Structure 1
Amino acid sequence: MSATPYHPPSHLLQVLQRIEYEQALQLGDPRYVDTREARGSQRTLSRLAKKFGLDLKTDVLYAPEAKHVLFFGHTGSGKTTELRHYARELSGPNRFFIVEVDVVQVLDPNNLQYADTLMALAQALLLRLNEESIHLGQDSIGEIEKWFSERVLEAEEGKEFSAQLEAGAKAKGGIPFLVDLFAKFTASIKANASYKDKLRRVVRNNFTQLKDAFNGFVRKAEETLQAAGKAQRILFVIDGTDKMRGEDTQKFFIEDAEQLLAITAFVIYTAPLSLKSGGNLAGKLDADLVLPMIKLQERDGSPCAAGARAMSEILLRRADRKLFASEAEIDLLVEYSGGHPRELLRLLKLCCELAEEQIIDEATVRAAIDQLAAEYRYFLQPDDYALLVRIDADPLHEGTDERTNKLLYDLALLQYNDGSWRRSHPVVRTLEGYIRAAQAASAQTGISLT
């Protein structure tokens, strides 16, 4: 029996309720659009695979001992959705066993530390192994179970935490005990339990022993997966680490990088562009892979048909074409999104809220553009407009300073082609501050910049 054909919502209220731009698409979601040509990212998956020693064409694997890869991109640009599709290609008997961890769901991204992440990785691995009916022997988990018993549960700092564990799981030991322990640990971190700092201190003070126990646990799990014909290595995909605040990002990826690298595993982390632009990552983490933005035009200003086509398709898989007065409204929404998928959905959401009738006409689109632009007005400074005008006059990437970095983080400045050129967000160019800065620059140079 064939699956029911997908039809996008045909009522604006339906469209509005189904817009979820904070959530990535699951595999098989009919709203997914292949954007590789539109981004110019046709080789990104192949490069990612090779970083872990895999040739996708031949299925040959020469895996390094460990590899920690950062996957950069604008917030909301589609990193998680793309990674899920990459993960499907990377999984298999001669490839990898994928373990996904969303730190937004299980931890607190606004106060994330390597100790928290390690617990979340262990929990996710145990749960995935259970899903696949992969059974580990006691020798696989003995060391990590011993570490927790001796270093956490019997320590003074861990007594309050120990009391939270279910007596049955503690008495039984083994995998049920560890699953319960990891779940309670991550829940305590996310819920900001009073003993969170105590638990983190225990991990920091005994990290060497924990690192050895965790690495041993991963190796045993990989041997079991190999014997079962499931995979050759484990690949952790950590999502949500691109949503951390600036100081937390700095601490996690730079100050605590040695602790991350001490884990001899394969790990992919999502990361914000601002981290890459900071220039402090050289030699620590594999940090050269960027998911490019969808291009609506080339650097010389000529149209990019593949980008416009992909963005239109993203829009029309969320709203029936008949909801738009004409193709012109679709083109206008795509243009003012700047090629950023989440910004396109934000504009669509505003159109649904602002429409007077059951149709999105030009007046509605213009009102949505004004409303989104107003969001940027709140945080942009007078000097920001002048900088954006200068970048737009010559979009070639000639370097990054702290102010430019912040504009990238806030999406007022968008980056294309792996960062080789940049341009301000189209809605920002409608603001009075930008228009006045452009007029002032034109008066000085004699060249119109608007």
Structure 2
Amino acid sequence: MVIIVDNLDRIPFRKLDGARSNHDALYIEHGEQLRSLRCRLVYTVPIASLYSKNVKVLTSIFPDCRVLPMIKTHTPQNQPWPEGLATLRRILAKRIDLDEVFEEQALETLCAESGGHPRILMTLVRYACEYAANRYPQPIDANAVDRAIARFTSEYSRSVPEEYFPLLARVSRAKKCDNDDAYRDMLHNLIVLEYMNGLEPWHDVHPSVQRLAKYRGALSDV
């Protein structure tokens, strides 16, 4: 028997007393209890925990920690990655008839703007469906997709702290995150996404964050 405990990676990060966090309390202080069931177990873990100073303690309790990266939609040189975009299309094709629901360019834009995160892709598709409702039975077009992206970008604009924008510009240039609280928060909140290039991870700013004027201003200052 295999028990999969999903969505624990969405637990909001919270500082406790001293240097402890609620993530440390769950996975490290109670790690042995989590492992005590006599069956195969899969727990999802916030990616920020794998960038914390306690990661060695975490991996000593859970030695088979693996990062599930984003589906790669582009290369570190910002060139489109057709294989990843095709994977996102297949995810959608298992749920809807792509030819009937989307205009081709609208579909391509949605996949790219998701940043390779399936849950974000579904959110963008839902928004686009709402904006295209008056076009039914015509397929979703670029206008509906642009409005969906603008809505999602607006949501990000309210969640990114002002002091993060210079740090995000550095991520965009270097394609790497530093190992500190700010960057861990960015990873946890999907402001920055992690991809894999062979065995080496790399990072990039979510496409919707890249649309923000404050981000573009910070990027021009780097």
Q: TM-score, normalised by structure 2?
A: 0.83
Report what 2:212 is aligned to: 431
**Separation in structure 1 between the aligned mates of residue 110 and residue 183 of structure 2, nearest angstrom:** 26
Note the C-alpha offset of 1:371: 0.2
Which has the higher relative contact order, 1 or 2, with Cα contacts under 8 A spaced 6 or more apart?
Answer: 1
Report what 1:31 is aligned to: none
Question: Is residue 2:8 matched to residue 1:241?
Answer: yes
Relative distance call for 1:348 and 1:341 in structure 2 (3 A) is: same
Gaps of 5+ in 2: 15-21
Write the mapping of 1:167-316 to structure 2, written as runs, cut at 5 A.
Answer: 237-247=4-14, 248-261=22-35, 266-282=40-56, 283-316=60-93
**Separation in structure 2 between the aligned mates of residue 382 and residue 419 of structure 1, nearest angstrom:** 30
Note the C-alpha offset of 1:265: 5.2
**Separation in structure 2 between the aligned mates of residue 428 and residue 312 of structure 1, nearest angstrom:** 23
Report what 2:135 is aligned to: 357
Aligned residues: 206
Note the C-alpha offset of 1:430: 0.8
Asked whether the equivalents of residues 281 and 287 of structure 1 are also in contact (C-alpha less than 8 Å), the reply is no
**Separation in structure 1 between the aligned mates of residue 135 and residue 205 of structure 2, nearest angstrom:** 32
Relative distance call for 1:255 and 1:308 in structure 2 (3 A) is: same
Relative distance call for 1:318 and 1:263 in structure 2 (3 A) is: closer
Report what 2:190 is aligned to: 411
Identity %: 29
Report what 1:179 is aligned to: none
SS at match of 1:318: coil
Report what 2:203 is aligned to: 422
SS at match of 2:8: coil
Q: Which amino acid aligns with 1:242?
A: D
1:361-387 deviations in Å (ceiling 9; x for gaps): 111111100100111111111121221
Write the mapping of 1:17-32 to structure 2, written as runs, cut at 5 A.
Answer: none
Write the mapping of 1:301-450 to structure 2, written as runs, cut at 5 A.
Answer: 301-320=78-97, 321-324=99-102, 326-355=103-132, 356-358=134-136, 359-397=139-177, 399-417=178-196, 420-441=201-222
SS at match of 1:382: coil
Asked whether the equivalents of residues 412 and 428 of structure 1 are also in contact (C-alpha less than 8 Å), the reply is yes
Asked whether the equivalents of residues 254 and 281 of structure 1 are also in contact (C-alpha less than 8 Å), the reply is no
Report what 2:18 is aligned to: none
Gaps of 5+ in 1: 1-96, 101-236, 442-450
- Structure with the greater alpha carbon radius of gyration: 1
1:30-66 deviations in Å (ceiling 9; x for gaps): xxxxxxxxxxxxxxxxxxxxxxxxxxxxxxxxxxxxx
1:112-135 deviations in Å (ceiling 9; x for gaps): xxxxxxxxxxxxxxxxxxxxxxxx
Asked whether the equivalents of residues 276 and 287 of structure 1 are also in contact (C-alpha less than 8 Å), the reply is no
Note the C-alpha offset of 1:288: 3.2
